[in-house]
Amino acid sequence: MSDIINMSEKQIKAVTYAVAQCRVSDECPKQKNVSLPAQKSRIEKYASDNNIVILKWGFIDHSDYRVEKDKGFVNLLIYAINEPKVTHYLVDEKDRFARNRYDRVVCEEKLRLGNVRLIGVSEPDYYA
């Protein structure tokens, strides 16, 4: 009984599952601490702090204007929607999710309809 009382909140919290995406569009962001490794590190810390298991990663290192041109992005999005365990789509910041606002809104709505929440781990959580 004392073991249960002494368990931390993190140990009691249920495990959830996610996919994670890191994206850079040119050399400039690499100088602003948003390189792929820097984004991955912040996402891993958030996942660890929140008892989230990342099932699949996506790394995008280019600046295609339209997301449907990137098969890796599309495959990660489809996986997130179709994998019943996945409840979160983690990115460093939501502007790292898709380059233009239209794509970001359309794809985030697809995730929402699939019961997957887009989370910018370096941004405030307005839904808490």
Asked if residue 4 is part of any domain, the answer here is no
* Structural domain total, the chain: 1
CATH assignment at residue 69: 3.40.50.1390
Do the beta carbons of residue 41 and residue 54 sit within 8 Å?
no
Report the pLDDT averaged over residues 105-109. 93
Q: In what helix (H) or strand (E) does residue 74 lie, and over which residues does it extend?
A: helix 71-82
Residue with tokens 């449907």: 68
Please, is 90 exposed, middle or buried when counting C-beta atoms within 10 Å of its C-beta (0-12, 13-18, 19+)? buried
Asked if residue 127 is part of any domain, the answer here is no
Examine the pLDDT at 110 and tell me if it is beyond 70: yes
- Binned at pLDDT 50, 70 and 90, residue 108 comes out as very high
Asked if residue 44 is part of any domain, the answer here is yes
pLDDT in tens, 8-34: 555 567 999 999 999 887 655 555 677
For the chain, the maximum distance between any two Cα atoms, rounded to a whole number of angstroms, is 56
Asked if residue 19 is part of any domain, the answer here is yes
Sheet of 52-61, strands arranged across: 52-61, 16-24, 86-91, 117-120
pTM: 0.83
Give the pLDDT confidence score for residue 22 in this predicted structure.
92
Asked if residue 47 is part of any domain, the answer here is yes
